[in-house]
Amino acid sequence: MSAAAPFDPRAAAGSQPLRCTVNGAAVERAVEPRLLLSDFLRHDLGLTGTHVGCEHGVCGACTVLVDGEAVRSCLLLAVQADGLAIETVESLAPGSAELHPLQEAFRAHHALQCGFCTPGILMTMVAFLAEHSAPTEAEVRLALAGNLCRCTGYQNIVDAVLAAARSRRER
Amino acid sequence: MKPAPFDYAAPRSLDETLDLLAERGGEGKILAGGQSLLPVLNFRLAQPALLVDVNRVAGLDTLAATADGGLAVGALVRQRRLERDPEVARRAPLLAEAIRHVAHPQIRARGTLCGSLAHADPAAELPAVALALGARLRLRRRGGERWLEAARFFTGLFATALAPDEMLVEVHFPPAPARTGTAFLEAARRHGDYAQAGVAASVTLGEDGRCRAARLVFLAVGEGPIDAARSAAALVGERPEGTLLEAVARQAAATEIDPLGDIHASAEFKRHLAAVLARRALTEASARAAA
């Protein structure tokens, strides 16, 4: 008798096929149904830019785009992403030497300190700015309400988002 | 935390869904938006043996006007869609007004109306809206269906009239009578938080400007949405004016709700909030009815 194979939870409990696109690339895996999308992105795909904070939909750190809409990746099973297009914070910068305009605005306005909440805020605001080309400060603050930041006091984040919207209009 | 293991099925049709519920009666849990269910699973507050993911079931995402001029909302209609659709604002303005208070856009992008009703969180906005608008709920099970008034659907704390093998597939909001105004208000510590107290009001006026019907439904101050019908009845036949609205609001908050204190707000403070919100909501609904 050969030694038992190492325990593999994926093989253990009714793995499901998952085909989706992540940041434009086709992905095909077999996943355990209980695997959260946030953990799939981080552990299976190594996309650790998506952060995991509260795991019950309150903090917003795990926000990603699913078919263009900002959602909580901790409140979605990976299997539910079958057939869908996922975008994470890694999709924003066009290259290693260049930032997305929103990231650039965050850098210029000092809109992050520890950075833990930043990926979720960026993805939330990318979706928000796609719908609002000329938002008011009040609209930006309301759109930020679902993302917790414990460092900045939000003022610099608001400034950065307004600046990014302004510079996009001027381009 | 992570969910405990479960069996997973993703049926393509409603019949298949109802078969699964019938065959695994009591063990199956419907997964639609999952915005209340996933936190419960992540915390292991529940460990259902089977998740029936209905997101791929055809025909459940209907959002349409009904023949009687009301609105029909299917089980897979996301809250974000209700928020954006001008038809909802026209036919069920109370629903459109309340939905902006449901958590955050990221949650509403997945969450559904039917899911919120089936979850029956006492602090949730949408059960109160369903009650205030006299919504009718369509419950399906293998080989049968029944319609239930919202008032008979909510049975207590996180409890509904749904049987284990039944699924809430559709909600009908009846058309509002002429000269009807509605208003929704809540108080929360931050926008998107669960309300400390909230209220949905509906006022219908006669041609003479007197109140013909009034409804006042509270949320977050009891075991479920509370229809303060005894207090609201005092408005019928009267002109909805300041002193009377104030008296009705105070009476409702004093006698028809049952708030529990928590670390952020005492029961007494929630009662105070409920009275103030009720007066404001009745005033606003009356003004909209007269407009």
Residues of chain A where predicted confidence (pLDDT) is lower than 70:
1-13
CA distance B187 to B144: 41
Inter-chain Cβ pairs, chain A and chain B, closer than 8 A = 89
Count of other CB atoms within 10 angstroms of residue B102: 22
Q: Name B69's bridge partners.
A: none
> Which residue stretches of chain B have pLDDT < 50?
none
The rounded distance, in Å, linking the Cα atoms of B284 and B183 is 6
* pLDDT single digits (tens) B208-254: 999 999 999 999 999 999 999 999 999 999 999 999 999 999 999 99
- Tell me if domain B63-173 and domain B180-290 are identical in fold: no
What pLDDT sits at residue A8? 53
pTM of the model: 0.94
Owner of token pair 């979850």: B119
pLDDT of residue A2: 47
Q: What is the pLDDT of residues A55-77, one digit of tens each?
A: 999 999 999 999 999 999 999 99
Q: How far apart are CA B173 and CA B137, in angstroms?
A: 9
Cα(A33)–Cα(B51) distance, rounded to whole angstroms?
A: 9
B232 within 8 A of B214, measured Cβ to Cβ: yes
- Under an 8 A CB cutoff, do A77 and B7 touch? no
Residue A92: its H or E element: none
Is the domain spanning B180-290 CATH 3.30.200.20? The answer is no
Looking at residue A42, the DSSP 8-state letter turns out to be I
Contact (CB<8Å) B39/A77 = no
What pLDDT sits at residue B191?
85
pLDDT at B117: 98
DSSP B11-77: -SSHHHHHHHHHHTTTTEEEESS-TTHHHHHHTTS---SEEEE-TT-TT---EEE-TTS-EEEETT-
* Inter-chain residue contact B104 with A39, CB threshold 8 Å: no
pLDDT of residue B190: 86
pLDDT score for B26: 81
- The pLDDT of residue A1: 44
Instruction: Confirm or reject CATH 3.40.50.300 for domain B63-173, answering yes or no.
Output: no
Candidates B118, B277, B107; CA nearest to B184 is: B277
| Closest by Cβ to B39, choosing from A56, A80, A124 | A56
Per-residue pLDDT, A5 = 54
Tell me if chain B has a CB within 8 Å of the CB of A76. Answer: yes
**Which amino acid, B247?**
A
Say which residue the tokens 């013909």 belong to: B212
The answer to whether A146 contacts chain B (CB < 8 Å) is yes
Measured CA to CA in angstroms, residue B21 lies from A68, B32, B51, B164 at distances of 32, 14, 10, 7
Query: What is the sign of the dihedral through the CA atoms of B61, B65, B68 and B69?
Result: positive
Other residues' Cβ atoms within 10 Å of the Cβ of residue B87: 13
Topology (CATH level 3) of domain A12-91: Ubiquitin-like (UB roll) (3.10.20)
Q: Which of A36, A56, A71 sits opposite B106 (nearest CB)?
A: A71
* Number of helices and strands in chain B (H, E): 12, 14
pLDDT score, position B192: 86
- The CATH code of the domain at B7-53 is 3.30.43.10
- How far apart are alpha carbons B225 and B131 in whole angstroms? 7
What is the rounded distance in angstroms from the CA atom of residue A51 to the CA atom of residue B183?
38
Is the Cβ pair A16, B8 closer than 8 Å? yes
Q: Which of residues 15-54 of A touch B (CB under 8 A)?
A: 16, 32-34, 36, 39
A75 at interface of B, judged by CB pairs closer than 8 A? yes
> What are the boundaries of each domain within chain A?
12-91, 101-170
With respect to CATH, is domain A101-170 assigned 3.40.605.10?
Answer: no
Q: Where do the domains of chain B lie?
A: 7-53, 63-173, 180-290
DSSP class of B211: E
Decide if B274 contacts B218 (C-beta within 8 A): yes
The answer to whether A75 contacts B38, with C-beta atoms less than 8 Å apart, is yes
